[in-house]
Structure 1
Amino acid sequence: MDELALLKLSQGPVTRTRLVRDLGALGLRAGDVVMFHTRLSALGYVTGGAQTVIDALCEVVGDQGTLMVTCGWNDAPPYEWTTWPPEWQEAVRTEHPAFDPERSEADHSYGRLPEALRRRPGAVRSRHPDASFAALGAAAHRLMDDHPWDDPHGPDTPLARLVELGGKVLMLGAPLDTLTVLHHAEALADAPGKRFVDYEQPVEVDGRRVWRRFHDIDSAEGAFDYVPVVGDEIDSFEVIARDFLAAGGGTEGQVAAAASHLFDARELVEFGVRWLEEKLRR
């Protein structure tokens, strides 16, 4: 979308002042710990782009607040690399760089904001290569430190700590199927048919590059087979979020040109666990 189309969408430039006003009206407050997802183009023409959005969020939550994003690793070796021809596998195993929380780029498919935030001075990124998060603010280390290698969406992970800290989840024009916090609900839910993956990625341990094996729910293809419950035309996370909104959870509003949502992380995760356990046991 070109600049003129974006300007028409937002009926003029979207400034930091406008974002601060709209975020406050949606319910974001000073001191909040908030994980956010953004589709930047949905906001309209943001003067200053990703940095302006982060500046506005920082202004609203203040010095005692914290921002959090999901990062992943853009250049992680694909899960299926161990099925490649032996000589290709050897090349990857010998020379693929180790994950570096400070240098490895966030997954480009998550948009511009995660990479922009993780590069901010003072930002802290978790150590997990495949499920890494980043945070900026007063609670950054509490959220990010010692991210468990295995079950990285489960207990004592950045997502679990977001819930424990009374955090919020902000969707700035981002589709509801990108609600990463619901992977925490999947990890916690006691429901049949839960699917897991095991994979290898290179990390640095005591100054050495080593290949480590990881175990997690299948967050890529789905921790459960949702088709019998929601069909194959809509994502399960969007259904859970819509059901949560219909039950009175969360708030909806507009930030610049973007239809946006603000959720209480604990309430959403608890709802998600109940939804999974009830729907998937039928």
Structure 2
Amino acid sequence: MDERALLERSGGPVTGERITRDVRALGVREGDTVMFHTELSALGYVPGGPPTVIAALLEAVGEGGTLLAYTGWNDAPPYDLPSWPEEWREAVRAAHPAYDPVVSEADHANGRLPEALRHWPGARRSRHPDVSFAAVGARAAELTDGHAWDDPHGPGSPLARLVEQEGRVLLLGAPLDSLTLLHHAEALAEAPGKRHVRYEQPVLDPLSGQRVWRSFWDIDSEDGAFDYAALDAVAEGEWPFAVIARAMLAAGIGTRGTVGAGESHLFDAGDAVRFAVGWIEREFGA
């Protein structure tokens, strides 16, 4: 990491106090429930890294507020495991550890912040191996407990509860295509061509405590719940969530500002989901 370049881009250190001030200027309030996505390097040089960011966000939402982040599972078995040669497949099934909310690492593709959040004192993490979320704060248990095994982006999911709690989504230097909340809109949208997947992953049986392989059913969040590439609204190579998010901003949903050196956005979760469901159903001819 080139600290000097980061310092110059952000006009000096991006301290926790500066982050708190900037996110409050963006619209974060005390008592808010906030799901966040962060591209740390976009903010500039943050002394202390992820813990500084988390502490600053907790300061912004106060004791009555809550932080939520998508964690996933970095070492989940691959989706194409059933297509592997039988000898390899059975070796993995026999030896692969079960997902454990306490010890299983967050998906590295989501950056360093979700892993830091799940280690934070008092953190709660949901039980779903592929779509787990971590939360810290007053409503952490309400957000994460009892995460449904099937349709884990849909009703009753941490994303659905975020909407019910009138929560918000903060893109902290993160690009618009990182708006994971839109998977909830995909799960709710009633439109032709919705794609689903079924896969197996090992979990701990709640009664016996033994490792078992369990089948899960969900929208296809890897290749896309819908064929966005077929839409005129989505140019070749564009990320569809970024297209939807830009349309939201153009419709007056969400605010834009700067945190440190990073362009950041804040969306009300309910407004964002309602807009995205309508966008999907309209574009796919519900």
Partner of residue 266 from structure 1, selected from 259, 263, 270: 270
Q: Which residue of 2 aligns with 1:224?
A: 226
Is structure 2 residue 260 aligned with structure 1 residue 278? Answer: no
Paired residues for 1:12-51 under 5 Å: 12-51=12-51
Residue 67 of structure 1: CA displacement?
Answer: 0.0
Give the counterpart of 2:251 among 235, 247, 265: 247
Partner in structure 1 of residue 123 of structure 2: 123
How many angstroms apart in 1 are the aligned matches of 2:272 and 2:179?
Answer: 10
Alignment of 1:27-106 (within 5 A): 27-106=27-106
Cα shift at 1:231: 2.8
Q: Secondary structure at the match of 2:227?
A: coil
1:149-160 aligned at under 5 Å gives the runs 149-160=149-160
Aligned equivalents of 1:160 and 1:218: distance in 2? 18
Partner amino acid for 2:247?
D
CA distance in 1 between partners of 2:229 and 2:106 (Å): 30
SS at match of 2:60: helix
Match of 1:197 in 2: 197
Structure 1 residue 103: Cα displacement: 0.3
Q: In structure 2, what is the equivalent of residue 238 of structure 1? A: 242
Q: For residue 9 of structure 2, what is the amino acid of its counterpart?
A: L
* Letter matched to residue 220 of structure 2: D
Q: Aligned with 1:213: secondary structure?
A: strand
Q: Tell me the SS of whatever aligns to 1:243.
A: helix
Query: Which segment is superposed worse, 229-238 or 59-68?
Result: 229-238
CA distance in 1, matches of 2:96, 2:150: 21
Cα distance, 1:232 vs structure 2: 2.2
**Using the alignment, how far apart are the partners of 1:221 and 1:24 within structure 2?**
35
Q: Report the secondary structure of 1:151's partner residue.
A: coil
Aligned residues: 282
Task: Give the whole-Å Cα distance in 1 for the aligned partners of 2:191 and 2:8.
Answer: 47
Q: Quick check: 80-89 or 127-136, which moved more?
A: 80-89
Identity of aligned pairs, percent? Answer: 65
Secondary structure of 1:13's partner?
Answer: coil
Query: What is the alpha-carbon distance in structure 2 between the residues aligned to residue 135 and residue 255 of structure 1?
Result: 22
Q: In structure 2, what residue type is equivalent to 1:211?
A: W
Shift of 1:233: 2.0
SS at match of 1:202: strand
Distance 2:127 2:237 in 1: 35
Question: What do residues 172-223 of structure 1 show as CA deviations (whole Å, max 9, x unaligned)?
Answer: 0111111000000000000110000000000000211000000000001000
Amino acid at match of 2:278: R
Secondary structure at the aligned position of 2:213 is classed as strand
Q: What amino acid maps onto 1:68 in structure 2?
A: L
Partner Cα separation in structure 2 for residue 243 and residue 70 of structure 1: 23
Spell out structure 1 runs of 4+ moving beyond 2 A. none
Distance 2:138 2:236 in 1: 41
Q: CA RMSD in A?
A: 0.8
Distance in 2 of aligned mates of 1:52 and 1:121: 14
Give unpaired runs (5+ residues) of structure 2: none
1:54-88 Cα offsets, whole Å, 9 max, x none, are 00000010110000000000000000011111111
- The CA distance in 1 between the partners of 2:163 and 2:169, in whole Å, is 10
Determine the C-alpha separation between the residues in 2 that align with 1:2 and 1:28: 30
The one-letter amino acid paired with 1:29 is R
Q: Which amino acid aligns with 1:133?
A: F
Distance 2:138 2:47 in 1: 27
